[in-house]
Amino acid sequence: MSDLCRIGQDEEARRLERRALDAGALRELSAALKPYGREPDGTPARAWTWEELVGGD
């Protein structure tokens, strides 16, 4: 994907990355997706805590 960006094909690189993420084919997430992952639309997820997920009682 970096080669696509290097030759000015940024949109194609993003499209390829999105498809690879959707397919579970990328072992390394981009820095924007760490540590909270991504939303179904591919955007970075907002920060969360385990207490939010389990109720925090």
At 38, is the secondary structure helix, strand, or coil? strand
Cα gap 48→3, rounded to integer Å = 33
Q: How many independent structural domains does the chain possess?
A: 1
Per-residue pLDDT, 22: 77
Which domain, by its residues, includes 19? 2-54
- Over its C-alpha atoms, the chain yields an Rg (Å, rounded) of 15
Per-residue pLDDT, 56: 60
Residues 21, 42 contacting (CB under 8 angstroms): yes
Cα gap 38→57, rounded to integer Å = 26
Per-residue pLDDT, 57: 58
pTM over 0.85: no
On the question of pLDDT at 46 being above 80, the answer is yes
pLDDT tens digits, 5-41: 888 888 888 888 888 877 777 677 777 677 888 888 8
Residues 13, 21 contacting (CB under 8 angstroms): no
Residues 39, 33 contacting (CB under 8 angstroms): no
